[in-house]
A and B are shown apart, each in its own frame.
Chain A
Amino acid sequence: MSERIGVYVCHCGTNIAGKVNIDEVVRFAEGLAGVELVRDYKFMCSDPGQAMIQKDIEGDLIDRVVVASCSPLMHENTFRKVCERCGVNPYLFTMANIREQCSWVHVDMGDSTAKAKALIAAAVSRTKFLEPLPKREVSINPRTLVIGGGIAGIQAALDLAEAGKEVVLVEREPSIGGHMAKFDKTFPTLDCSACILTPRMVQVGQHPNIKLMTYAELDEVNGYVGNFTVRVRNKARYVDPELCNGCGMCWEKCPGTRVPRKGNVHEKLSLGPTTSIYMPFMQAVPAVPVIDSGTCLYFQKGKCRVCESVCERTAIKYDMEDTFEEFEVGNIIIATGFRTFDPRVIKRYGYGALPNVMTSLDFEIMNCAAGSTSGAILMADGSEPKSIGIVHCVGSRDKHYNEHCSRVCCMYALKYAHLIKEKTNAEVFDFYIDMRCFGKGYEEFYDRLLGEDVRFVRGKVAEVSNVPVNVVEEGKLVISVEDTLVGVVRRVPVDMVVLCTGLESSVGLAEVATMCNVSVGKDGFIIEKHPKLGPVSTATDGVFIAGACQSPKDIPDTVAQASAASSAVLSMITRGMIEIESATAEINEKKCSGCRICNNLCPYLAITFDREKGVSVINEALCKGCGTCVAACPSNAIKAKHFANEQIFAEIEGLLSV
Chain B
Amino acid sequence: MTFEPTIVGFLCNWCSYTGADLAGTSRVKYAANVRSIRVMCSGRVEPTFVIKALYEGADGVLIAGCHPGDCHYQEGNYKALRRYRLLRRVLPEYGIEPERVRLEWVAASEGERFAKVVDDFTDQIRRLGPLDIKESIAQSLIDDVVNHEEEATKDIGDVNEA
Contacts and interface: CB of A to CB of B under 8 A. Distances in A.
Interface stretch (A197-205, A475-483, A499-507, A514-522): A514-522
Contacts of B57: 656
B21 A627 contact: no
Nearest to A539: B14
Contacts of B72: 517, 519, 539-540, 626
Contact of A99 (B17, B24, B32, B58): B24
Interface string B6-27: 1010000111011011011101
Given A71-B24, A100-B24, A105-B28, A628 B73 contact: yes
B69 A653 contact: no
B151 to A, nearest CB: 28
Interface stretch (B89-97, B107-115, B138-146): B107-115
Q: Which of A540, A643, A648 has the most CB of B within 10 A?
A: A648
A627 B44 contact: yes
A106 B39 CA distance: 23
Interface in A606-643: 624-628, 630-632, 640, 643
A637 to B, nearest CB: 13
Nearest to B72: A539
B137 interface: no
B123 interface: no
Contacts of B43: 626-628, 631
B40 A122 contact: no
B83 interface: yes
A628 B46 CA distance: 9
Interface in A119-137: 119, 122
A105 B29 contact: yes
Given A631-B46, A652-B52, A656-B8, A603 B74 contact: yes
A305 B79 CA distance: 55
A106 B32 contact: yes
A406 interface: no
Given A519-B108, A539-B14, A656-B57, A643 B24 contact: no
A334 B10 CA distance: 32
Nearest to B22: A100
A72 interface: yes
B136 interface: no
Interface stretch (A108-116, A144-152, A571-579): A108-116
B8 A643 contact: no
B40 A583 contact: yes
B56 interface: yes
Given A519-B107, A631-B79, A101 B29 contact: no
A108 B45 CA distance: 31
Contact of B76 (A519, A626, A651, A655): A626
B20 A100 contact: yes
A91 to B, nearest CB: 14
Contacts of B109: 521-522, 527
A626 B21 contact: no
Contacts of B79: 601, 628, 631-632
A101 B41 contact: no
A284 B70 CA distance: 37
A625 B21 contact: no
B128 interface: no
Contacts of B20: 100-101
Interface string B57-69: 1100000001001
A472 interface: no
Contacts of A101: 20-21, 24, 36
B49 A71 contact: no
A118 B57 CA distance: 13
A353 interface: no
Contacts of A115: 32, 35
Interface in B110-157: 115
B134 to A, nearest CB: 14
Contacts of B160: none
B40 A71 contact: no
Contact of B21 (A73, A112, A119): A73
Given A583-B40, A625-B40, A627-B43, A118 B35 contact: yes
Nearest to B25: A100
B28 A626 contact: no
Nearest to B66: A519
A432 to B, nearest CB: 29
B104 interface: no
Contacts of A520: 70
Contact of B8 (A105, A106, A655): A655
Nearest to B44: A627
A624 B14 CA distance: 13
Contacts of B28: 105
A101 B18 CA distance: 10
Contacts of B44: 626-628, 630-631, 640, 643
A527 B115 CA distance: 20
A101 to B, nearest CB: 5
Contact of B73 (A108, A119, A603): A603
A107 interface: yes
B76 A628 contact: yes
B59 to A, nearest CB: 10
A649 interface: yes
A456 interface: no
B52 A104 contact: no
B73 to A, nearest CB: 4
A645 interface: yes
A626 B49 contact: no
A583 B41 CA distance: 12
B1 to A, nearest CB: 13
Nearest to B11: A101
Contacts of A99: 24
B2 interface: no
B53 interface: yes
B38 interface: yes
A539 B45 contact: no
Interface string A63-76: 00000000111100
Q: Which of A73, A104, A630, A631 has the most CB of B within 10 A?
A: A631
Interface string A579-605: 000010000000000000000010110
A652 B37 contact: yes
Contacts of B17: 71, 73
Nearest to B43: A628
Given A97-B36, A105-B32, 19 more contacts: A72-B38, A104-B25, A104-B27, A106-B29, A106-B30, A111-B32, A118-B35, A519-B72, A522-B107, A601-B79, A603-B73, A627-B40, A627-B43, A628-B41, A628-B43, A631-B43, A645-B48, A652-B56, A655-B8
Interface of B: 6, 8, 13-15, 17-18, 20-21, 23-25, 27-32, 35-41, 43-46, 48-49, 52-53, 56-58, 66, 69-70, 72-76, 79, 83, 107-109, 115
Minimum-distance CB pairs A-B, first 5: A627-B44, A100-B24, A628-B43, A603-B74, A626-B73
